[in-house]
């Protein structure tokens, strides 16, 4: 009998779990603050922080508060902040014109952050949904999301954000061909070091629900299934990843996070590019709701999920828990 002398097992995996020192020694995946990207929603109003009902603790921050948060990120060892805007409803229109305003909320936040803490990376979402009155990531022609017309706008949005000082351009729109088009636009304008993090595998997910409240999308006309991926598909993520790599992406991202760890592993193994996952609003809300009911230990749940992302192959995790996690991970 293999591994058994008749009376005793030869292998006792529990030997290596008997004391903290040996568990520390053999641990595979380790999370540090340097693995975290702080997901942050910002607004243009005067109040420093505005709570989001479904996301307790992840408030919308005013421009000045966001700049202070960048200073805090630096102190905590968090390398990057991802900015998402809550745009006033009066500025929204069918084309998402406000996305192309060089003095809009996001460019102002980027400039304020880079001034306050230039050492902290700033990542910006490239998509039109915070700016359109129908809530879609692209422009609509009739009842269709028009791919190429949208890509043309996304290029202008990406350029304007790079001009404002954004370090990482992160297209989250899932239009075809946008990575190549944006890469071309950036190179053409001399932004040779602008990084592109592609949301290569972004699924049409129920887990974005609280985010829509956070950024103020009150009515989404229809759904996003003509551009975001079917949760049933894995091979399709590899095809999307291959296109984005060929078109010039520096990094890939999978979104949502925990339900899609298999996709993280497959992309990482296939391309070997820095691969991140987004622990989205609904994942944050689930943990927070269970904690509020006394059903989960918050600190342990946060660290366990982050460790799982690392084990699956993530180089970093975009998460609303970043400041809290960095606090827990402080040596």
- Residues within the interface to ligand PBG (CB under 6 A): 125, 127, 129, 137, 172-173, 208, 211, 224, 280-281
Output DSSP code: residue 207. G
Smallest distance, ligand PBG to C-beta of residue 82, A: 9
Smallest distance, ligand PBG to C-beta of residue 4, A: 49
Q: Choosing from 255, 268, 288, 310, which is the catalytic residue?
A: 255
Smallest distance, ligand PBG to C-beta of residue 280, A: 4
Smallest distance, ligand PBG to C-beta of residue 21, A: 38
> Which residue number, 3 or 216, has a Cβ lying nearer to ligand PBG?
216
* Residue 69: both structure tokens together: 């948060």
Alpha helices in the chain (DSSP H): 20-26, 63-76, 105-116, 147-164, 178-188, 209-215, 235-247, 261-271, 281-292, 298-312, 322-328
By Cβ distance, which residue is nearest to ligand PBG?
Answer: 211
Phi–psi pair at 297, nearest 5 degrees: -85, 115
Answer yes or no: 202 catalytic.
yes
Sorted by sequence, the CB contacts under 8 Å of residue 271 that are 6+ apart come out as: 241, 242, 245, 252
Cis amide linkage into residue 256, ω under 30° from 0: yes
Answer yes or no: 224 catalytic.
no
> Which residue number, 205 or 308, has a Cβ lying nearer to ligand PBG?
205
CA dihedral of 128, 130, 131, 136, whole degrees rounded to 10: 50
> Which residue number, 280 or 312, has a Cβ lying nearer to ligand PBG?
280
With 0-12 / 13-18 / 19 or more C-beta atoms within 10 angstroms meaning exposed / middle / buried, residue 11 is: exposed
Q: Choosing from 92, 202, 268, 288, which is the catalytic residue?
A: 202
> Which residue number, 131 or 195, has a Cβ lying nearer to ligand PBG?
131
Smallest distance, ligand PBG to C-beta of residue 49, A: 18
> Which residue number, 113 or 214, has a Cβ lying nearer to ligand PBG?
214
8 Å CB contact between 266 and 234: yes
User: Which residues are designated catalytic?
Assistant: 202, 255
């Amino acid at each position: 009998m293999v591994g058994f002398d008749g009376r005793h097992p030869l292998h006792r995996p529990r030997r290596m779990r008997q004391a903290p020192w040996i568990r520390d020694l053999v641990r595979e995946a380790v999370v540090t603050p340097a693995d975290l990207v702080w997901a942050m929603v910002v607004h243009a109003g005067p109040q420093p922080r505005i709570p989001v009902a479904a996301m307790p603790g992840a408030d919308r921050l005013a421009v000045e508060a966001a700049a202070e948060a960048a200073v805090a990120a630096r102190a905590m060892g968090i390398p990057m902040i991802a900015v998402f805007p809550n745009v006033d409803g009066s500025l929204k229109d069918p084309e998402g014109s406000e996305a192309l305003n060089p003095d809009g909320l996001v460019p102002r936040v980027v400039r304020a952050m880079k001034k306050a803490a230039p050492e902290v990376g700033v990542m910006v979402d490239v998509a039109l949904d915070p700016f359109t009155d129908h809530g879609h990531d692209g422009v609509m022609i009739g009842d269709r999301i028009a791919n190429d017309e949208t890509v043309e706008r996304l290029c202008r949005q990406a350029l304007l954000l790079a001009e404002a000082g954004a370090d990482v351009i992160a297209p989250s729109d899932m239009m075809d061909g946008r990575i190549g088009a944006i890469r071309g636009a950036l190179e053409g304008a001399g932004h040779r070091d602008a990084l592109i993090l592609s949301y290569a595998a972004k699924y049409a997910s129920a887990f974005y629900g609280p985010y829509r409240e956070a950024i103020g999308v009150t009515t989404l006309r229809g759904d996003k299934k003509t551009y975001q991926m079917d949760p049933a598909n894995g091979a399709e993520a590899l095809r999307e990843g291959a296109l984005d790599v060929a078109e010039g992406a520096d990094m890939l991202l999978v979104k949502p996070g925990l339900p899609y760890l298999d996709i993280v592993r497959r992309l990482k193994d296939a391309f070997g590019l820095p691969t991140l996952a987004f622990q989205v609003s609904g994942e944050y809300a689930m943990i927070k709701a269970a904690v509020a009911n006394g059903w989960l230990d918050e600190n342990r749940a946060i660290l366990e999920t982050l460790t799982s992302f690392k084990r699956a192959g993530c180089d970093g995790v975009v998460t609303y828990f970043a400041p809290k996690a960095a606090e827990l991970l402080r040596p």
